[in-house]
A and B are shown apart, each in its own frame.
Chain A
Amino acid sequence: MPDPAFSHHPPAVRVRHARVSLGHVPVFADLDFTAEAGRFTGVLGPSGVGKTTLLRLIAGLIPGADIGDERGGSLSGCIAWMAQKDLLLPWLSVIENVRLGARLRGEGDGGREKARALLAAVGLAERANDRPDTLSGGQRQRVALARTLMEDRPVVLMDEPFSAVDPLTRLGLQDLAARMLAGRTVVFVTHDPLEALRLGHAVYVLNGEPATARAIELPDAPWPRAADAQGVLAAQAAILRALAPEAAS
C-alpha cells in the first residue's frame, strides 16, 4: 500500500563530479552517481569505502558537491533520512517519536492522526503510547520507518536501515519498506547483497580509493524480488565478486 498522502512526482538524484576528503584521505575524487526518479537504488561496498558519505552528501550534510535533481534543481527540503541506528528518543512515546519532525519544526500537536495511521500501517497501532525501550529491535526499526514516512518527502535515504535485526525480521522489514516507500526515489546503503537484490531497481557497488560506482546486472524477477527468485543467487555471487575481486577469484 503506497502512502496515499504522497502524490507528487519524485525527483531523480544526481551527483556530479563529487570531491570529498575526510581528513587527508580522498573518499571521492570525481564521483558520478544517479538514482532514478521513483525507483529504489541500492549501494553496496566494502567497509570504509564511503557509502555513508555518499548518502550524507546527497542529504546535504556534507558541503562541497554538485547535488541536484535531473534538472539541476536543489534537493533541499525533499529528503527524509533513515539512519543505521533507529535514533528513537527514549524519553518520548512511540507516537511522539513518529512526530519528531513536527516537534522539531514547532508544528505543535499537528499530525497526530497521520502518525497513528502510519503506526497502524507498520503494525504497531497498539504500541503508540509505549516507550521505545519496551520494543524489540524489529519493532523499533518499524517505528523509525513510520517516522521517515511521516516526513512525507519524495526522496528517502536509508543507511543500512535493517542491519541490526535478525535475517527473518529483516526480510519482513524489506517487504514493508518496499510497500510503504514505493513511488519515491529511495537510495539505500546496505552490507547485505540479498537486501540490495530484493529492493533495488538498480544496484551499484562502490569500490576503490577514491571510490567509483559500478552498476550490477540484475535478475529479471518481479519487484520486490523474492529471496529465492530465479537468478538472485547468481547475482549475489556477482556482487560478492565485485565487492572483493581478489577474494572471489
Chain B
Amino acid sequence: MIRRVGAVLILVALWSLAWALTGRLDFILPPPWTVAAALWEHRDLLAEHGAITLAEIALGLVVGGGMGVLAALSLALWRPAALWLWPLFVATQALPVFAIAPLLVLWLGYGMASKIAMAALIIFFPVASAFYDGLRRTDPDLLDLARTMNASKGAVLRHLRVPAALPGLASGLKVGAAVAPIGAVVGEWVGSSAGLGFLMLHANARLQVPLMFAALLLLAVMAILLHAAISACLRRALPWVHDTLDVQPPARD
C-alpha cells in the first residue's frame, strides 16, 4: 500500500516538474492541482458520465467475454470451425476499431448499445484466443490417462481441458479488462451524447483542458480498479494457480 502511494506521489511530482519545465502553459498541460480542482468542481458531471462509461465497459466485458468463451469452446469441439471461423475472428481484430465505430453507431444507434458492441468486439479476441490456446494445450499424458479410463470426448473437455485452460482464460480476461475502455471511449467519440469520451470531446472543443484531464484521469483510475478487481476475483476462483513472482509456492519436500 505504502509503495503504491509512493508511486502515485512520484508520478504527481514528475507531472508538476513537466508543467514547470514546459513554461507553465495551463491550457496545454494543466498542473495536478488544477486538474484536482476540476475533478472536485465537476464531480457530479464526471460521476454521471463515468457511470455510463463504466456500465458500457462492464457490459462489454460480459458480452465480449461470453462470446469469446463460446467461440473457443466451439473451435475446440468442432474442428472445421477452427478452419473457417478463426480467420474471421482474426479479421475482426485486423480492422481498426476507429473504422468500424461509425458503422456500429449507424447500425445500433447513438445510445449505449453501439458502445457495448465496440467494447465487446475489442474484448472478444484476447479472451477467445487465450482460452482456445489453453484448451488446445492440455497435457498429452493426461489425455492418455483419460483414454485408458474410457473417458468420452465431452468428459475430457469438461473435466480436463476446460479446467486446465482456466488460467489462460483468466489471462485473456485481464487483457480484455485493460483494453475494454478503448472500445467504449472510441464509440463515444464517434457519436454519443453521454460518457467520458463524449465529455472529453466536449471539454476539448471548449478549451476546458483541466476537465479533459480530469475525465482522462477518471478513466485511467476506472481501468486500474477494474483490472485489479478482476485479478482479485480470478485469484480467488483459481486458488491452485500460483503466482511465482509475488509469492513463494508452498514448500514441497
Contacts and interface: CB of A to CB of B under 8 A. Distances in A.
Interface of A: 56, 59-61, 77, 79-81, 83-85, 87, 89-91, 100-101, 103-106, 131, 133-137, 151
Interface string B235-253: 0001111100000011011
Nearest to B150: A105
Contacts of B147: 59-61
Contact of B155 (A60, A84, A104): A104
Given A79-B148, A80-B148, A87 B142 contact: yes
A173 to B, nearest CB: 15
B159 A104 contact: yes
B253 A136 contact: yes
Q: Is the interface of A mostly helix, strand, loop or mixed?
A: loop
B250 A133 contact: yes
A236 B179 CA distance: 62
Contacts of B145: 81, 83, 87, 100
Contact of A134 (B141, B151, B160, B250): B250
Given A81-B144, A101-B149, A105-B149, A87 B139 contact: yes
B149 A61 contact: no
B253 A133 contact: no
**Most chain B Cβ neighbours within 10 Å, of A85, A91, A104, A106:** A104
A87 B240 contact: no
Nearest to B249: A133
**Most chain A Cβ neighbours within 10 Å, of B148, B149, B159:** B148
A77 B250 CA distance: 38
Given A59-B144, A87-B139, A133 B240 contact: yes
A81 B144 CA distance: 9
B243 to A, nearest CB: 13
Interface string B35-75: 00000000000000000000000000000000000000000
Given A80-B148, A133-B240, A134-B250, A87 B155 contact: no
A90 B240 contact: yes
A137 B249 CA distance: 14
Interface string B213-253: 00000000000000000000000001111100000011011
B144 A100 contact: no
A25 B91 CA distance: 41
Contact of B141 (A80, A87, A106): A87
B113 interface: no
A38 to B, nearest CB: 20
B163 A89 contact: yes
A131 B240 contact: yes
29 contacts: A59-B147, A61-B144, A61-B147, A77-B150, A79-B148, A80-B148, A81-B149, A83-B144, A85-B139, A87-B139, A87-B141, A89-B163, A89-B164, A90-B240, A91-B240, A100-B149, A100-B159, A101-B149, A103-B159, A104-B146, A104-B149, A104-B152, A104-B160, A105-B155, A131-B239, A131-B240, A135-B252, A151-B148, A151-B149
Contacts of A134: 250
Contacts of A87: 139, 141-142, 145
A106 B150 CA distance: 11
A104 B156 contact: yes
A100 B163 CA distance: 14
A100 B160 CA distance: 10
Interface string B65-103: 000000000000000000000000000000000000000
Nearest to A78: B148
B156 A81 contact: no
Contacts of A85: 139, 141
A104 B151 contact: yes
A90 B146 CA distance: 16
Nearest to A140: B252
**Most chain A Cβ neighbours within 10 Å, of B150, B152, B156, B242:** B150
A59 B252 contact: no
Given A89-B160, A104-B149, 7 more contacts: A59-B148, A89-B163, A91-B238, A91-B240, A105-B152, A131-B239, A151-B149
Contacts of A81: 144-145, 148-149
Nearest to B142: A87
Interface in B107-160: 139, 141-142, 144-152, 155-156, 159-160
A189 B96 CA distance: 56
Contacts of A105: 149-152, 155
A103 B151 CA distance: 9
Contacts of A59: 144, 147-148
Interface in B6-38: none
